Amino acid sequence: MAEARRGPMLLRLGYDMQFDIPEPVACVAQLRVHPSRAVGLREPDHVKVEPEIPVEEYTDSFGNFCTRFLAPKGPLRLKNDFLFEDSGLADPVQPGAVAHPIAELPHEVLRFLLPSRYCEVDSLTPAAFDLFGNTVPGWQRVQAICNWVRAKVTFGYSFARPTKTALDVFTERQGVCRDFQHLAVTFCRAMGIPARYVAGYLGDIQFPDSGTPMDFSAWFEVYLENRWWTFDARHNLPRIGRVLMATGRDAADVAFLTSFGAAQLKSFVVISEEVTDDSAYSAAKT
């Protein structure tokens, strides 16, 4: 488990991804730090697109920054590399947080109780009540859901597939990071707790190197006591250096790139690491 920190830390964040575009295709990228975390930026956070083409920025219905462009035929590269100041604190924990009665939830939160593309709430509601109906509503119930998913689902990159839903994960008991979160989100919604899917940066800070290439990470948030709280059914531990990029109903709402046509990924690099030596950071960027 991560040790407590006593002050802010500097993170190096970024990505470098390259695609082959067989024909011009409209794209939307969600690669910027979420507006709620923008105060931590120490360098500009803009999607650099090669070749240089016109781009438009907008904010979607979930409050995420989006970058829209028409990718021409040929190679396409999206990249950025920047510094971010984080509090250095682990995810907050509030074991006594209680759930709101659904009738008292804010209007904008209600959509995070409904079924979505990867979260079949209606199909998994009977199982959710069988498994968690006797738990205390609120934080303890969400933690019980995370404990169950973490214990029952086997992690492995070979288990990934883009069409896998929460019901598939429940049946197969295998998946990658996003699958753990989809199942936990679905169980929470089935039990009347608003839950949303989250994508962002999460490096192995104060944890052993995982030995696998860095990637964007997935976790989820639940609405208890008038605010959103971070949970992570994959790691199931408070973590340090978690930087939010986008939130939505499930992974379909927060994809790093949505292309309305073919876009073949050729290479993919994500950076999420603590900076302790400015000279090393400068050297890494050159």
CATH number of the domain encompassing residue 44: 2.60.40.2250
Q: Is residue 48 part of a domain?
A: yes
116: DSSP letter: B
Say yes or no to pLDDT of 285 above 60.
Answer: no
pLDDT tens readout for residues 223-260: 999 999 999 999 999 999 999 999 999 999 999 999 99
Q: Is residue 141 part of a domain?
A: yes
pLDDT tens readout for residues 127-182: 999 999 999 999 999 999 999 999 999 999 999 999 999 999 999 999 999 999 99
Count of CB atoms within 10 A of residue 237's CB? 13
Q: How much is the average pLDDT of 208-217? A: 81
Does 26 share its domain with 142?
Answer: no
Number of domains in the chain: 2
- Residue-number span of the structural domain to which 60 is assigned: 9-83+255-276
DSSP character string of 205-268: TTS---SS----EEEEEEEETTEEEEE-TTT-S--SSEEEEEEESSGGGS-SEEESS--EEEEE
Q: Is residue 88 part of a domain?
A: no
Q: How much is the average pLDDT of 280-285? A: 53
CATH number of the domain encompassing residue 131: 3.10.620.30
Does 171 share its domain with 192?
Answer: yes
Q: Is residue 172 part of a domain?
A: yes
Q: How much is the average pLDDT of 70-86? A: 98
d(CA 232, CA 165): 17
